[in-house]
Structure 1
Amino acid sequence: MRPDAVVIGVGNPYRRDDGVGPAVVARLRAAGLPGVTLAESDGEACALILLWQQRRLAVLVDAVRIRPPHPGQVHRLVTAWPVPGPLEPDRGSSSTHTVALGDAVRLAGELGRLPARMLVFAIEAADLGYGAGLSPAVERAADKVAAEVAAEVRTWATATADQGP
């Protein structure tokens, strides 16, 4: 049976801070979250939709560029349908991918492929150049977000177990 929850780390680990999503997923794998699918994605809309469709909970972790930048700052967003505006924080922000995450969510909503609940953790990037490894501020944010996601998923699992089938 397919687990009801998925955590998706979006990004490219060979573009410095853009690899924060996969870095958070790696931390969660090391911590162990039974009954949760842990996945990585390059942010392609159809791949994301296939990962989160028919789930009760989807958590996405992605890097975001915001002007002015505050590297390592975390934005926690709970999506709703219909998506009222840009999914990314609106202070001169943009996704680090060719298709904005908000566009993938809108498409999934139109197709009836959204999970019941979706959380997005957008982490402000400092360096999106070529190479592996996160900047110090984004590395600290990855640790913080991994702990927060683990707590969120455990709380959600306990709450849904109490509700029964």
Structure 2
Amino acid sequence: MHARIVLLALGNPERGDVAAGPAVAARLRGWPPAGVALRLCDGDLLGQIETWRDLEVLVCVDAAAPQGEPERIRRLDPGADGLLRDTSLTSSHGLGLTEALALARTLGLAPPRLVVYALRAAASRSARP
């Protein structure tokens, strides 16, 4: 069965506080019920956009750039809140989440329901000593 709901965990586990998505995914392994897929993306989102075509819901978990209080989780609904205005979910390693969602909408590939959980880490530190 093709998953109609995808939880997309963004980030690189080797890069400290930007590893928020993979950390959440690790905690959720084995959880998703039928029809829900858990996917990881540690790089450019451009390759992910095409896979969004037939989804009903896309839920993204990503680290947010320093803003607001540390260790906060901010739930964003791009449909209700606009296209993540005033939110820094860009990437220094390719197409960021904000840009990927905008491109998916332009191409008609965005699912009807998008939810983003932006996690703000307490401190920026490398995962390796």
Alignment of 1:15-54 (within 5 A): 15-54=15-54
Gaps of 5+ in 2: none
The CA distance in 2 between the partners of 1:22 and 1:49, in whole Å, is 19
In 1, are the aligned partners of 2:90 and 2:98 still within 8 Å (CA)? no
The structure-2 alpha-carbon separation of the partners of 1:128 and 1:12, relative to structure 1 and needing over 3 Å to count, comes to farther
The CA distance in 2 between the partners of 1:72 and 1:48, in whole Å, is 27
The structure-2 alpha-carbon separation of the partners of 1:56 and 1:21, relative to structure 1 and needing over 3 Å to count, comes to same
SS class of match (1:94): coil
Quick check: 1:64 aligned with 2:64? yes
Query: What's the offset of the Cα at 1:120?
Result: 0.3
Quick check: 1:95 aligned with 2:122? no
Q: Which runs of 4+ in 1 moved over 6 A?
A: none
User: Identity over aligned residues, as a percent?
Assistant: 36
Q: Cα deviation per residue 1:37-89 (whole Å; 9 max; x = unaligned)?
A: 1100024131231342210011000001133x4221111011229x845x26x
Query: What's the offset of the Cα at 1:96?
Result: 5.8
Alignment of 1:133-148 (within 5 A): none
The CA distance in 2 between the partners of 1:96 and 1:16, in whole Å, is 16
TM-score, structure 1 length as denominator? 0.66
Task: Tell me how many residue pairs correspond in the alignment.
Answer: 126
Quick check: 1:108 aligned with 2:104? yes
Find the structure with the greater CA-based Rg.
1
Gaps of 5+ in 1: 133-165
The amino acid that maps onto 1:110 is T
The CA distance in 2 between the partners of 1:73 and 1:5, in whole Å, is 25
The CA distance in 1 between the partners of 2:66 and 2:34, in whole Å, is 34
The CA distance in 2 between the partners of 1:51 and 1:130, in whole Å, is 31
In 2, are the aligned partners of 1:9 and 1:62 still within 8 Å (CA)? yes
SS class of match (1:131): coil
TM-score, structure 2 length as denominator? 0.83
The residue aligned with 2:79 is: 80
